[in-house]
Amino acid sequence: MLLPKVCLAKSMFLFQSQMQKTPTAAEKAPQIYDMLTIKRVEITVRNETEVEAAMRGTWLFDRTIKALRNDGYNGSFFIDSDISKVKGLTESMLTKNYLGDALYAHSLKSPLMVFVLAPYFSRAMEGGFGPSMTAGYYVPNTNAILLRDPEALGSNALESLWRLVFPKENFQRDGASYDENELTLTRILLHEAHHRYSYRRSDIFVSYGGKKDDPPNWLDEGITEFLTLRLMASSKIPVPNCSYIGEVEAIHLLSQVADPDVIKQAYFSGDFTVVMKQFDAKLGQGAFRELMRYNYAADAIDYLENLMDDKNIKYDNWDEDAATLGTRIAGARK
């Protein structure tokens, strides 16, 4: 990665400032490196006490934790739930061939930990931030993923919506019977696991052509879900449903002008330079930088479709039918 040039005096000042700063607990933790050789710090959590401490560093959870503790609650925020099958299925897809040597080695050194939030924690969180359809969370800079209790997901005003995601029924596909709840939890967990290994695991900016930028949320969530569905399809695991459909539609269009495997590599490393070059080669110089200016998936889709129409590039749109999601993703150009 190219770093911006700074004057020698400023460089020495920054160096001395870093030398004088007292290292935090996170900075003392074992360090890992990504494909761009950017230094990383990840805290490995092993139990509920350690993940709660990590959650306190995340604004989304810290407010809820403080509210519950201030109300006098001193119990656990988690419940026992047998998700070993779902966790095993998820980990079986995150192979060395898929993650690459460095990330896979780190996944063995710091295994994925999954915790299920108690229903009252979810309700307390929604009391502060409003009802949420979010069913899983990655705790930044850790190896921890939080899942909401699937048995409690339909207990609030969003019950009808939650039942679309967790219908509590089996379904038939290709002559086999599947537990849709189990497959949905697998998709959610795999989605959050991708967040762990992505460029945002330590809140860094993406780069393209030497420029650093804070990526739009549709790019992050869209690629995360796109890769999740694509990996399930290539692993011959049925895809029962989908999140972030608009965001996935945008990435589905992007994948028709930039190689999906190049997009995956960029997602893991944070360096989108090759994606930008492939994109600009087909759609014009500066087209990718312009795409990054859009904050919403709907605007990005309009921009992509109009640009591809102007360049006479044929494309197909996303199919929202859950029964074909995996097939559509698996059929993306390689």
The string of DSSP letters for 190-206 reads: HHHHHHHHSGGGGTPPE
Return the pLDDT at 13.
28
DSSP state of 270: S
In a domain, 250, yes or no: yes
Q: How far apart are CA 54 and CA 44, in angstroms?
A: 10
Instruction: Write the single-letter amino acid at 291.
Output: L
Single out the residue of 138, 114, 134, 296 nearest to residue 203, CA to CA.
Answer: 138
215 and 120: one domain?
no
Return the pLDDT at 306.
97
Return the pLDDT at 257.
96
In a domain, 8, yes or no: no
62 and 200: one domain?
yes
251 and 167: one domain?
no
150 and 276: one domain?
no
91 and 199: one domain?
yes
Instruction: Write the single-letter amino acid at 198.
Output: S
Return the pLDDT at 173.
66
54 and 195: one domain?
yes
Could you list the pLDDT tens digit for every one of the 334 residues in the chain? 333 333 323 233 232 333 334 434 333 333 333 333 334 567 899 999 999 999 988 887 888 898 888 888 888 899 888 889 899 999 999 999 999 998 999 899 999 999 998 877 877 777 666 556 678 899 988 999 998 876 654 444 334 444 444 455 566 666 767 777 788 889 999 999 999 998 765 444 566 665 666 778 999 999 999 999 999 989 988 887 788 889 999 999 999 999 999 999 999 988 888 999 999 999 999 999 999 999 999 999 999 999 999 999 999 887 654 444 444 544 443 3
Return the pLDDT at 170.
65
**Domain termination residue (choose one: 204, 225, 259):** 204
Range of the domain at 102: 26-204
33 and 159: one domain?
yes
Mode of pairing for the β-strands spanning 136-138 and 31-33: unpaired
42 and 172: one domain?
yes
In a domain, 265, yes or no: yes
Single out the residue of 191, 291, 175 nearest to residue 241, CA to CA.
Answer: 191
> If you count them, how many residues does the chain have?
334
In a domain, 136, yes or no: yes
Q: Which sign does the torsion angle of CA 267, 324, 258, 216 carry?
A: negative
In a domain, 307, yes or no: yes
In a domain, 11, yes or no: no
